[in-house]
Chains A and B, each alone.
Chain A
Amino acid sequence: MIEQKKAIQADKQYKEINFEVHYIRHLTDTTYVVRFDRNEMHFIPGQHLSVGLANDPQAREYSIYNSNNDNFLEILVKEVDDGIVSKRLKKVKPGDQLKVTGPMGFFKLDAKTINSRKHLFVATGTGISPFHAFVKSYPQLDYQLIHGVRKSEEAYERSEYKNSNYTLCSSRDKKGDYNGRTTDFLRSQKIDPSTLVYLCGNCDMIFEVYDILTEKGIPTENIHTEVYF
């Protein structure tokens, strides 16, 4: 086996190929989804990619947004005020070429328990991206998704989730399912200690939720985090 692997590797060429943009889908003034070639890339939902424009040294990491059953790739991007790549990506047109490397990362569901355990997903902003990939990839998933946003217009593609599985926490308007911060909502909830919890978003939210969950008796090994920075 080892000899065979060595032989394969010795002949292997390392190629960087470009990924063609299919289209861009604007969700708000500052948030959009870019769809591009998959090029037969194998990925596990929850993983991320490094994406930039072809021939541009700048690239950033984005979680894969779409299902692993799709024959394309999508990323959910929030335009950052002083950002470089998010501004450049916003201007891409169908046919433009992207430089994509990956997939990378360990923020994935446990294959053994996908269909047997309860899952709680907590996201802020575009941190919902890997959860979208989970939900679309695993239709049998038993999950509850709590999405924290400032304004309800940031409930990105809410219709993709069953109403009974999705809670929008809106802190700056009164149009959410819960009007207030995600952490306040979570404090008011009973959570089964055997639930597998996945947190994705900014660090401060993750720390606060981490404390709330441990106070509620969720073992730390059941808490998985992906920090957006």
Chain B
Amino acid sequence: MKYHLMTLGCQMNKSDSERVQSVVEKMGFRYTDNEEEANLVGILACSVRQKAIDKVYSKIHKWNKQKNKRNLITFVSGCILPTDQEKFLKLFDMVFTMNELPEFPQMLSQYGIVTPYRIENDFEPEESLPFPKTELPTINLNTITFNPAQTKSKAGQTLILKKPEVNMKGFWDVKPSYQSAFEAFVPIQNGCDKFCTFCAVPYTRGREVSRPSVEIIAEVKELINKGFKTITLLGQNVNSYGLDKKGEEISFPELLQEIGKIGDASLNPFWVYFTSPHPRDMTVDVIEVIAKYKCLANQIHIPLQSGDDKVLIRMNRKHSLSDYRKIIHTIRRITPEATIFTDIIVGFTSENDDQFQNTVKALDEFKFNMAYIARYSPRPGAASSRWIDDVDHETKKERLQILSETLKVHSLAYNKKLLNRELTVLVVKKDRKEGHLSALTEGKIIVRIKSSNEELIGQFLKVKINSISGFSTEGVVIS
């Protein structure tokens, strides 16, 4: 039996998909790239972008038509707005939130699919569903059968589990199927309490919930022992970690410190990153801990979004440019080697030329190594989607262009300083340039290496930088 999973949206959804795949595969399903040959098809949706939602509707209409010709069960999960959830209930066989993932095998059993999980748990569809049940049995593929007669639940309705308690713990207990042998993403926090007006995440993922630190540390230890080279701690507001537990959980800098101690005591070298932090909860302790432990990478991603105070107010960012400036000064003072990345939105509702120019000035002042610049587009469910998107498309394009050029100037200036330096890099993939591999420095600066040896992917190398450009460099391997 085969399954196909489509993951839309951000890194958080991609990380979630590793856990979904783990659960589905433990039920005995094998992944296929070809959705036409799958009996179980699912989407991890992203309500945050209209395009992504359109894609979900397009897929489910196609799959529902195919149900006349073949046995197919559909499910949807991920970042879903309540309004979309109500619509999906009519279209998909199963709709569940991520915290309900451990119960997915039980939901599937209600469709008459016999998996080793069902046999070992003697699960009957008529029974009320037990929770939580996170341990799944070992799978023997030969024992799996599919009941072609039944493709709907007994009630003929889409299944949606309603649990007496919201419990992300069951989800985090699921061991993920890491999609890379050397890069891992570890979710440490879910949800958002910040309510930026351009973003719908607080409505799709709910409140900030921190994962227990014992679990995070255990997962990180396992990854280090397996030889993973980069570990990225993930969360919508990663540095708000622990705040929801009101002193009953360690704080984000304390968590980093714990990981730093383990990392620096390990014989396996690796780099630890985190994304995305919110300026509102950024503290000096975080920077001090990064400076103290070698394994905590000298790279900080800190979203600015706009360089204008009024735009920041309209965005409900809860910080001013002056607050942000203090953070950058602290990073430069304590970790002068650190590269700084950011996120910017251009053309946000009512952003005028003067306000945009303040963002240009901010880029000149902060000299980011990289900025992910997005043209504003209203996102369904976000507060700003109720406002007129009054900055025209051409202006947004022009502003994006201006910011990109500004960024390039500063990125180039930084890269020039790397010329002839010997750096440790991690080879991450085959480069688009023929006969080259793509690698990253600790600060995530791209280094192109002339080599076709794909066995180097996932390895640390020492390189000497011999040429540079705006957003990347080239180097030769010296060891």
On whether the two chains bind one another, the answer is yes
Which segment of B18-26, B110-118, B308-316, B442-450 sits at the interface? B308-316
A20, B213: Cα distance in complex, Å: 33
Which chain A positions have C-beta within 8 A of B165?
13-16
Query: Given that A101-B206, A104-B207, A206-B313 are contacting pairs, would A229 and B383 also be in contact in the complex, using a CB cutoff of 8 Å?
Result: yes
**A61–B258 touching, CB < 8 Å:** no
A9, B215: Cα distance in complex, Å: 10
**B168–A221 touching, CB < 8 Å:** no
Q: Is B432 on the interface with A (CB-CB < 8 A)?
A: no
**B250–A6 touching, CB < 8 Å:** yes
Query: Given that A14-B167, A229-B383 are contacting pairs, would A220 and B309 also be in contact in the complex, using a CB cutoff of 8 Å?
Result: yes
B58-114 contacts to A (CB < 8 Å): 82-83, 85-86
Which chain A positions have C-beta within 8 A of B259?
none
The proximity string for B residues 164-185 relative to A, scoring 1 for CB distances below 8 Å and 0 otherwise, is 0111110000000000000000
Which chain A positions have C-beta within 8 A of B250?
2, 5-6, 9
Q: Is B322 on the interface with A (CB-CB < 8 A)?
A: yes
Taking the nearest CB of chain A, how far is it from the CB of B319, in angstroms? 9
B303-343 contacts to A (CB < 8 Å): 309-310, 313-314, 316, 318, 320, 322
Given contacts A5-B248, A10-B214, A229-B383, 18 further A-B contacts (CB under 8 A): A2-B254, A6-B250, A9-B214, A9-B250, A12-B245, A14-B169, A16-B165, A42-B246, A50-B202, A101-B207, A102-B207, A104-B207, A106-B318, A207-B313, A220-B309, A221-B322, A229-B197, A229-B386
**B195–A57 touching, CB < 8 Å:** no
A186, B85: Cα distance in complex, Å: 46
Which chain A positions have C-beta within 8 A of B245?
9, 12
Which chain B positions have C-beta within 8 A of A71?
none
Which chain B positions have C-beta within 8 A of A221?
320, 322
Which chain B positions have C-beta within 8 A of A2?
250, 254, 258
Query: Given that A210-B313, A229-B386 are contacting pairs, would A50 and B212 also be in contact in the complex, using a CB cutoff of 8 Å?
Result: no
Contact of A50 among B166, B207, B247 (CB under 8 A): B207
Q: Is B280 on the interface with A (CB-CB < 8 A)?
A: yes
Q: Is B40 on the interface with A (CB-CB < 8 A)?
A: no
Name the 4 nearest CB pairs between A and B, nearest first: A57-B82, A229-B383, A104-B193, A9-B249
Which chain A positions have C-beta within 8 A of B310?
207, 210
A34, B310: Cα distance in complex, Å: 32
Which chain B positions have C-beta within 8 A of A207?
310, 313-314
A153-198 contacts to B (CB < 8 Å): none
Which chain A positions have C-beta within 8 A of B313?
203, 206-207, 210, 225, 227
Q: Is B302 on the interface with A (CB-CB < 8 A)?
A: no
Which chain B positions have C-beta within 8 A of A210?
309-310, 313
Which chain B positions have C-beta within 8 A of A113?
none
Contact of A227 among B169, B197, B247 (CB under 8 A): B197
Taking the nearest CB of chain A, how far is it from the CB of B261, in angstroms? 11
Contact of B213 among A6, A16, A104, A106 (CB under 8 A): A6
Contact of A14 among B82, B168, B197 (CB under 8 A): B168
B contact residues, range = 35 or more
Taking the nearest CB of chain B, how far is it from the CB of A78, in angstroms? 15
Q: Is A111 on the interface with B (CB-CB < 8 A)?
A: no
Q: Is A115 on the interface with B (CB-CB < 8 A)?
A: no
Which chain B positions have C-beta within 8 A of A225?
313
Give 25 A-B contacts (CB < 8 Å), ordered by A residue: A5-B249, A6-B249, A6-B250, A9-B213, A10-B215, A12-B212, A14-B165, A14-B167, A14-B168, A14-B209, A15-B166, A50-B207, A57-B85, A58-B82, A101-B207, A102-B193, A104-B195, A106-B280, A203-B314, A207-B313, A207-B314, A210-B309, A210-B310, A225-B313, A229-B383
Taking the nearest CB of chain B, how far is it from the CB of A89, in angstroms? 15
Query: Given that A14-B209, A227-B314 are contacting pairs, would A5 and B167 also be in contact in the complex, using a CB cutoff of 8 Å?
Result: no
Contact of A13 among B167, B202, B213, B309 (CB under 8 A): B167
A151, B254: Cα distance in complex, Å: 52
Which chain B positions have C-beta within 8 A of A105?
193
Which chain A positions have C-beta within 8 A of B320?
220-221
Taking the nearest CB of chain A, how far is it from the CB of B130, in angstroms? 16
Most-contacted residue by chain A among B195, B206, B322 (CB, 10 A): B195
A105, B61: Cα distance in complex, Å: 40
Which chain A positions have C-beta within 8 A of B212?
6, 9-10, 12
Nearest A residue to B246 via CB reads A42
Taking the nearest CB of chain A, how far is it from the CB of B257, in angstroms? 8
Which chain B positions have C-beta within 8 A of A14?
165-169, 209
**B214–A16 touching, CB < 8 Å:** no
B382-396 contacts to A (CB < 8 Å): 383-384, 386
Which chain A positions have C-beta within 8 A of B280?
106
A57, B169: Cα distance in complex, Å: 21
Nearest A residue to B170 via CB reads A14
The proximity string for B residues 375-411 relative to A, scoring 1 for CB distances below 8 Å and 0 otherwise, is 0000000011010000000000000000000000000
Nearest B residue to A107 via CB reads B318
Query: Given that A14-B168, A50-B207, A220-B309 are contacting pairs, would A8 and B248 also be in contact in the complex, using a CB cutoff of 8 Å?
Result: yes
A1-28 contacts to B (CB < 8 Å): 2, 5-6, 8-10, 12-16
A224, B248: Cα distance in complex, Å: 29
A5, B168: Cα distance in complex, Å: 19
A131, B453: Cα distance in complex, Å: 65
**B247–A5 touching, CB < 8 Å:** yes
**B316–A229 touching, CB < 8 Å:** yes
A96-133 contacts to B (CB < 8 Å): 101-102, 104-106
Which chain B positions have C-beta within 8 A of A104?
193, 195, 207
A2, B259: Cα distance in complex, Å: 13
Taking the nearest CB of chain A, how far is it from the CB of B453, in angstroms? 43
Which chain B positions have C-beta within 8 A of A102?
193, 207
**B316–A227 touching, CB < 8 Å:** yes
Nearest A residue to B384 via CB reads A229
Nearest A residue to B254 via CB reads A2
Which chain B positions have C-beta within 8 A of A42?
246
